[in-house]
Structure 1
Amino acid sequence: MSWLASARHGVREAPAGLALVQELLNTRATLHYGSDLLVTADDAQRWLTEALTTWSRVSGLPAPTLLISTSDLRSLRRLRTTFENVILAAGKDGLLDGALPPADVPVSLVPDADGWVRMVPTGRGTRWLASALWAEALLAQQAGLWPRLKLCHNVDCRAAFFDTSRNNSGVWHDVSTCGNTANLRAFRERKRLMGGSGAQPHAGRPQLPGPPPSLR
C-alpha cells in the first residue's frame, strides 16, 4: 500500500523535488480520497517516510530518518497551511489567513563533484523538513515551475496539482469531478435565480389553449 498523499487524488506529480511540496499539500483530507494524514503520528510517519524516500531518489540527496512525535503534528499542519497560503498568494486565488510568516530555516550551499553549487537542507527533525520544502520552492521558482503548482478551485477539495496546460490555465485537479461539480452548482444557482425552471414567456400566468389544428 502506498502512503504517498498525491496518489490518492490521481493528480499529475510535480517534477523533481517540487513533488515534496505537493505531497505536503495533499496530506489534507479532501472529499472521498481519505483522511488527513497529519492527524495521528502513525499516519504522518508512514507518509513522511515514503515521501522522503521518493524525494531522495529524485533529488540525489540523502534524507535523514525523521521520527514524528505527537508534538510534531501541529508544526507539520502549520507548515502545510503556510504553503497553502503561499500558493494562493502566488495565484491570487483567495484570501490569506493573515500575513505570511517568514521562512526562517537554514540551508547549506555545497559544491558537487561537477563544480555545481547545490542547496542542501539542514537542521533536525521537522526543521530539516521545512528547510527541504522551502529550498524546493525556491528552486521551482527559479526554474519557472512554481506558478504551475496549484490548489483545486473546488474549496471542498483543494487537491494540489501540477498544471500542464499550455497557457497554465487549469483550475481543477480533475475536470470530470470537481469541474463538473462546480458547473452543476452554477447551473442550479442560475435556475434558482430564474425561478426554478428557467425564465419562460409570461411565466406564472395561465396560458389559453390555441385553436384546434383544423382552424389554424
Structure 2
Amino acid sequence: MITAASGSPQPTARTVPPTVETVLAFVNTRADGSGRRELLGDGESFAAWLAEHGEFGGETVVTDADAAVARELRDALVTVLLAHSGDEESLGEPLLRAERHLRRVGSLYPLATVVTADGVELASPQTGVPRVFGTVLAAVTTFAQTGDWGRIKACRNPPCHFGFLDRTRNGAGLYCSTGCGSQVSMRKHRRRQRQAGDAPPSEA
C-alpha cells in the first residue's frame, strides 16, 4: 500500500520517499555491462527477488510468463526515466511505445483509493503477481503527484541506465554516479581526439 498523505516527506539529500524506493527497486532489476545480473529473467528468479522485497507482497508463486510481463513493465519505465534524463535515443517513438504500454498496464491492474483520517492511500486490490504490478503503479502515481516525477531518472551512461533520484538543486543530474559521468566524459574526449586525427591537414 502506497501512502499519499498531505505530510509526505519531500526528497532531500538524506531521505528517499518510500514510493521512490519502490520504483527504483523494481527498475533496477536489469542486467548491465558492469556486473549487475538480471533478476527477473524467469519465474524462479522473479520469485526469489519478490521473497526479498516485502513491499511487493513478499513470497509469491510466479511463472516465466509473469517474469516476461514484469520485464516489459520495467523496460517501459526505464524508457520513461531515460527520457527524464534527456536521453535522445529514448525520445520520440520509443517513448510513445513505452507510454502506450504503461497505459495498457494501468488498465489491466487498476488501483483502489483508500481514504482514512490520516490521508489517502493507493493500493492494489488484487493478489499475487497482479498485486506486484499494482504496487509499482501505485508508487509511480503517488510520487508523480508531488510534482517531482521528473527527478526519478535512469543513468544516461550506456549500458548502465541505473535508476536514481536526482537530488541536484536544479534537477540537472544525468548520471547515477560520478564514475558514470567520468566514463561518458572520457568517451567524448577520445571521440574528439579520433575525429581530430582523422581530419585532413589544413592548407597553409
- TM-score with structure 1 setting the length: 0.73
Greater shift, 161-170 or 30-39, is seen at 30-39
Tell me which residue corresponds to 1:80: 74
Tell me which residue corresponds to 2:7: none
Contact 1:14-1:161 within 8 A present in 2 as well:
no
Which structure would you say has the larger RCO, counting Cα contacts within 8 Å and 6 or more residues apart?
Answer: 2
Q: Which has the higher helix share?
A: 2
Distance 1:156 1:81, change over 3 A: same
Counterpart of 1:40 (choices 31, 34, 42) is 42
Gap regions ≥5 residues in structure 2: 1-13
Q: Distance in 2 between matches of 1:13 and 1:133?
A: 20
Q: Distance in 2 between matches of 1:189 and 1:13?
A: 38
Tell me which residue corresponds to 1:4: none
Gap regions ≥5 residues in structure 1: 1-11, 57-62, 206-216
Distance 1:13 1:22, change over 3 A: farther
Alignment of 1:163-182 (within 5 A): 163-176=166-179, 178-182=180-184
Alignment of 1:132-143 (within 5 A): 132-143=135-146
1:108 equivalenced with 2:102 (yes/no): no
Measure how far apart 1:115 and its partner are.
4.9
Contact 2:50-2:58 within 8 A present in 1 as well:
no
* 1:158-201 CA-partner distances (Å, limit 9, x unpaired): 0001111111111111112x1111111111111111117x99xx
Measure how far apart 1:98 and its partner are.
4.9
1:130 equivalenced with 2:133 (yes/no): yes
Measure how far apart 1:124 and its partner are.
2.9
Identity %: 26
Partner amino acid, structure 1, of 2:63: S
Measure how far apart 1:20 and its partner are.
1.4
Question: Over aligned residue pairs, what C-alpha RMSD do you find?
Answer: 2.7
Contact 2:28-2:162 within 8 A present in 1 as well:
yes
Q: Rg: which structure is higher?
A: 1
Contact 1:30-1:157 within 8 A present in 2 as well:
yes
Greater shift, 27-36 or 152-161, is seen at 27-36
Distance 1:134 1:160, change over 3 A: same
Partner amino acid, structure 2, of 1:119: L
Q: Distance in 1 between matches of 2:194 and 2:120?
A: 60
Point out 4+ residue stretches in structure 1 off by more than 3 angstroms: 88-92
Measure how far apart 1:75 and its partner are.
0.7
- SS state of the match for residue 118, structure 1? strand
- TM-score with structure 2 setting the length: 0.77
Q: Distance in 2 between matches of 1:14 and 1:36?
A: 24
Contact 1:14-1:149 within 8 A present in 2 as well:
no
Tell me which residue corresponds to 2:151: 148
